[in-house]
Chains A and B, each alone.
Chain A
Amino acid sequence: MIEVEDVYFTYPNGVEALKGISLKIEDGEFVAIMGQNGAGKTTLVKHFNGLLKPTRGRVLIDGVDTRHVSVAMLSRKVGFVFQNPDHQLFSETVEDEVSFALKNFGFPEKVILERVEWALNLLDLKEYQKTSPFMLSGGERKRVALASVLAWDPKILILDEPTIGQDSYQKERLRQFIIQMNQQGKTVIIVTHDIEFVAECEPRVILMANGRIIADGEAKQVLTDTELINKSSLVLPEITQVFVRLNDFGFPRNVISVYEAKRLILEKLFGGIGR
């Protein structure tokens, strides 16, 4: 469980990035943190594995104050996948890359082999086992970065901008993957601008603006609130935009799922006969 209690954070250069954040994320939740550039999203999640420590207030991971333990200790529980895989890939082979963290955490040799095998299979990277990560495509590098974090099986998984630079096929695979992880009981936190992606996932949505949380609730409520969405410089999901305009014909406004939209329209047209 992640508990954030009235956290303020100021960068050394004087920028106040977080201004009184309080929030609680239970085990097994799926959360999307959204907001414009500079809203403080990444700053907030960097507090979850102790990379940043609050200037005021405190962050508790399973009841442990992040100020009292090392980043390495926290990372065992909280896996953080950075936005740009090029900021972490350095090994000669994909295999070495994935085992890097496992060696840091002191897993025994036998377990490392098993975990690497498992993570590579999970992300469909087995064929690149002996390839240099620098030879892979952007999407593949992103998957290697993800595998290198998943390998130690952290309880909480944070993904910073996971959809940037991914084609729609990769995005769909990523979505299924995230949902699968979440169903296996992992807490999944994604930081993103990609409202369509979030609309498809339907997680709990936390909306941030200027270092504060301005909304926290179900995707269906938050993502269809025109005022809130405008306030955080986002654009309503396309299907919601359609339904906002169809409102005059007696359609509800709060629709984010394409399948629900289809059902509603067919019901209206054929009086519930069609499917």
Chain B
Amino acid sequence: MSMFDGLKFRNVSSPIHRIDPRAKFIYVCVLFVISVLFSQIIPLLTIFLIQIPLIIAAKVRREWLRLIRGSSFFAIIIFIMNIISLYFYGGQQQSLESIIEYSLAMTLRFIVLVESFSIFFLTTSPDMLGLSLEQMGVPYEFCFAFTTAIRFVPVLAEEAQTIIDAQRARGLELEKGNFMKRIRNYIPVLVPLIVNAIRRSLEMAEAMESRAWGASKKRTNIYTLKMHRGDYAFILISMVMLAVSIYARLFIKIPSIIQILQD
């Protein structure tokens, strides 16, 4: 579970937390595009390093490090898969060095994506996220479903742990048996978890209706999001980053690490 702490909102006060969620969303999209644009190590490493000051400014270093550590497992898988597929199915005779470099770049791309998503989720409260969706014109029902889903993740995780304890107390051994048996071992955990989730959602629907949910067509909010100068600046920086990247992608020949080493 500790890995997912890196994607859970951390309520601390920092300049990054105060940036408008919409601006941060644009930033995440820009980073997504940039990391897909490039497949060389140097640009990917650059945007990886550029984001580190943001993480320090947001005071979420510990959670972020934990997420990176947790995702290293997937990173290794991506690295190995890339090497295997390029080595055996790559077609033209590529040198081993270039295969490794390309695989490293792909792994780095994954880490950059995880990094930017975690900045977004660590510093944006689900409420603010819902609010910004609403102000972008998404119907309230969908915004509500979205924020509720996010909010219930920790509740479900805790409940799953209790259920696992209760079944272990009845002699269930999750780690026992072959692959298929292990999957079947989870049935006694999943059934109560799903049944309780459904039951809870029905109860919640009743509770919401008894508090007049959806009574008026036009909802107003206590808070309205307003873009400040800093938010516009943040969007501008993101846009400049995007423009520079597209320019670099189209007109600059990016050297690979091997070429640099050979010179």
Query: How many chain B residues have a CB neighbour from A under 8 Å?
Result: 20
Distance of A266 Cα from B150 Cα, bound (Å): 63
Query: Is B163 in contact with A88, judged by CB distance below 8 angstroms?
Result: yes
Query: Is B169 in contact with A90, judged by CB distance below 8 angstroms?
Result: no
Report A260 CB to chain B, min CB distance, Å. 37
Digitize A38-54: 1 where CB-to-B-CB distance is under 8 Å, 0 elsewhere. Answer: 00000000100101000
Name the residue of chain B whose CB is nearest to the CB of A79: B169
B187 at the interface (CB under 8 A from A): yes
> B196 to chain A: which residues have CB within 8 Å?
86-87
B162 at the interface (CB under 8 A from A): yes
Query: Is B169 in contact with A104, judged by CB distance below 8 angstroms?
Result: no
Query: How many chain A residues have a CB neighbour from B under 8 Å?
Result: 26
Query: Is A100 in contact with B192, judged by CB distance below 8 angstroms?
Result: no
Query: Is A82 in contact with B165, judged by CB distance below 8 angstroms?
Result: yes
Given contacts A82-B162, A88-B163, whether A100 and B188 have CB atoms under 8 Å apart is yes
One of A12, A51, A90, A148 near B187 (C-beta < 8 A)? A90
B172 at the interface (CB under 8 A from A): yes
A-B contact count (CB 8 A): 63
Name the residue of chain B whose CB is nearest to the CB of A86: B196
Query: Is B166 in contact with A71, judged by CB distance below 8 angstroms?
Result: no
B137 at the interface (CB under 8 A from A): no
B2 at the interface (CB under 8 A from A): yes
A75 at the interface (CB under 8 A from B): yes
> A51 to chain B: which residues have CB within 8 Å?
165, 168-169
> B2 to chain A: which residues have CB within 8 Å?
12
Given contacts A90-B187, A90-B188, whether A134 and B195 have CB atoms under 8 Å apart is yes
Query: Is A88 in contact with B167, judged by CB distance below 8 angstroms?
Result: yes
> A87 to chain B: which residues have CB within 8 Å?
159, 162-163, 166, 192, 196
> A79 to chain B: which residues have CB within 8 Å?
169
Query: Is B192 in contact with A104, judged by CB distance below 8 angstroms?
Result: no
A149 at the interface (CB under 8 A from B): yes
Given contacts A12-B2, A87-B192, A100-B188, whether A80 and B163 have CB atoms under 8 Å apart is no
Digitize B141-173: 1 where CB-to-A-CB distance is under 8 Å, 0 elsewhere. Answer: 000000000000000000100110111111111
Query: Is B163 in contact with A72, judged by CB distance below 8 angstroms?
Result: no
Query: Is B169 in contact with A100, judged by CB distance below 8 angstroms?
Result: no
Among A104, A105, A134, the most chain B Cβ lie within 10 Å of the Cβ of A104
Given contacts A90-B191, A90-B192, whether A100 and B163 have CB atoms under 8 Å apart is no
A89 at the interface (CB under 8 A from B): yes
Q: Known pairs A46-B165, A75-B171. 7 more at Cβ < 8 A?
A: A12-B2, A70-B173, A80-B169, A87-B162, A88-B163, A88-B192, A105-B171
